[in-house]
Amino acid sequence: MALTRFTKFHPPTFDGEVIDPWTVETWLAAMETLFEDIYTEERDKVNLATHCFDKRARVWWKRVKQDRSLDLPPIDWEEFRRLMFAEYLPDNDKRKMREDFRKLKQGNCMVREYEREFTHLLNCVPDVAKTERDRGDYFVRGLRPGVFRAVHAFKFHTFAEALDRALWVVHGKACTRGDREIYEKDRGRKRPSGSSGGQSNSRRPSKYPRSQSKGRGPHRCVVCGGNHRPGECK
C-alpha cells in the first residue's frame, strides 16, 4: 500500500551516472518532501527511495545489502543519506567541502542564506560534525561578531536551537532599528518647517496671524490639531 501511494506521485529516479553533490542532495530533498506530503513511516523510507534506483545506483545498492552483516539493524534514513554521500561524492570534493565547512562564515549574507549553505555542506560531509552540539558550535562560530556575541550568551544543545536563537537575535535587532527609524521619521514630521534643531519651538513664522487668537473660538494647532497654539505643541 505504501509503494502504491508513493508511485502515484511519480517520484524522480536516481541512476548514479552523474557524480555530483548537488544532484544527490536534490534527489534526497525531493524524496524527503514526498515522504512528508504522504506521511510516510520511517520504516518505509529507505525501501521506497531505493525503489527509484536505476542503472549504477541499483547495482551499488544490491552490493550494499549483500555486504551488510545480518547482525546489524536495518538501514534507517539518516544512515542511508550518509551512505549516498559517501558513495557519490569524490574524495577531492569531500576534502574541499570539509575545508569549506570549517571556514564558512556568515559575512554579509542573511542568517537564512548562511544556514542554507551551512546545511548543504553538512549534508555532503556529515562526518565533520557528528553530534548536534558540534553542529551548533560550528554554526555559531561562523556568525557575524555582533550576532555571535548575542547567541553565544545563550545555552544551546543543538544546531536547531542555535539557529532559532540567531534568528531571534537578528529579528530583535531589526525591530529595534525599525522602531528607531519610525521615531526619527515621526520627529521629522512634527518639526515645523522653517525651524532648526537648535531653535525653540516657540519661535514661529508669521503665517499664524494674531487675529486668530481673539473672538474666533478655541485655538487650533496646525501641527497636531489640538486646542492650543502651534508654538505650545509638544
DSSP notation for 70-103: TTSPPP-HHHHHHHHHHHHS-HHHHHHHHHHHHH
Last residue of a domain, one of 187, 205, 226: 187
Domain that holds residue 176: 92-187
Residue 150: is its pLDDT beyond 60? Answer: yes
pLDDT band (50, 70, 90) for residue 105:
very high
By CB neighbour count within 10 A (0-12 exposed, 13-18 middle, 19+ buried), where does 227 fall? exposed
Q: Average pLDDT, stretch 93-122?
A: 89
Asked if residue 218 belongs to a domain, the reply is no
Asked if residue 208 belongs to a domain, the reply is no
What the block records as the C-alpha cell of 192 is 515645523
Total tally of structural domains belonging to the chain: 2
| Cβ count near 123 (within 10 Å) | 18
104 and 72 within one domain: no
111 and 85 within one domain: no
pLDDT tens per residue across span 117-141: 998 888 888 888 888 999 999 999 9
145 and 101 within one domain: yes
83 and 124 within one domain: no
pLDDT tens per residue across span 183-222: 566 566 655 555 444 444 444 444 444 444 444 455 566 5
Asked if residue 192 belongs to a domain, the reply is no
Distances (CA, A) of 159 to 130, 134, 136, 211, 219: 11, 8, 4, 71, 62
Asked if residue 10 belongs to a domain, the reply is yes
Asked if residue 229 belongs to a domain, the reply is no
What the block records as the C-alpha cell of 50 is 531505493
Distance CA 109, CA 144 (A): 9
Last residue of a domain, one of 89, 110, 142: 89
Distance CA 220, CA 143 (A): 54
Residue 162: is its pLDDT beyond 50? Answer: yes
Asked if residue 41 belongs to a domain, the reply is yes
Asked if residue 228 belongs to a domain, the reply is no
56 and 97 within one domain: no
82 and 108 within one domain: no
44 and 22 within one domain: yes
